Amino acid sequence: MSDIPEGYAPVWNEGFNAYVGPFYGMPREDGSVHFILDLREEHLNGGEVAHGGLMMAFADAALGTAVSLAVDGAPTATMTLNTDFVSSAGKGTRIEAEAEVTRATRSVVFVAGRVYVGEKTLMTASGIWKVLGAK
């Protein structure tokens, strides 16, 4: 991607994230995170808008990063993810995501967020993550 704003870095840039992304993210002072991704041809479906799977993967990356920050980087895994597909976006669009932890307990973390372009919401997402190794 060109024109990445200052302060953003590729997040967990190995394997899937590196292959599909990179997903650029930045933590905010309030503990939430902000992500950006410029949509490429390979992100699209046959209708030439972002594939539902890509949208969920982007949301999972943003929500998972907010979770990770809330537990000081302890290993975590998605247990449940709920997504509503509100609208769509096409090639060349810079889509954004933000995610914020609702509640963190010792062993599970509740998180919610959305994917959007400017004022337009594309997806709302919520989930519960497990803190691995914590009982």
Of 18 and 31, the one with the shorter C-beta distance to another protein is 18
**Residue 101 C-beta: closest distance to another protein, Å:** 17
Q: How far apart are CA 10 and CA 107, in angstroms?
A: 27
Task: Please state, in angstroms and rounded to a whole number, the distance separating the CA atoms of residues 29 and 133.
Answer: 28
Shorter beta-carbon distance to another protein: residue 49 or 104? 49
Tell the smallest beta-carbon distance from residue 10 to another protein (Å): 12
Nearer to another protein by Cβ, of 42 and 105: the residue is 42
Beta bridge partners of 16: none
Binding site for another protein (CB under 8 A): 12, 14-17, 19-20, 41-47, 51-54, 56-58, 60-61, 64, 75, 77-85, 88
For the CB of residue 29, give the shortest distance to another protein in the complex, in Å.
Answer: 25
Question: What is the rounded distance in angstroms from the CA atom of residue 86 to the CA atom of residue 11?
Answer: 25
CB of 100 to another protein, least distance (A): 18
Question: Closer to another protein at the Cβ: 3 or 101?
Answer: 101
Contacts of 21 (CB under 8 A, 6+ apart): 10, 11, 13, 37, 61
Spatial distance between the Cα atoms of 120 and 49, rounded to a whole number of angstroms: 15
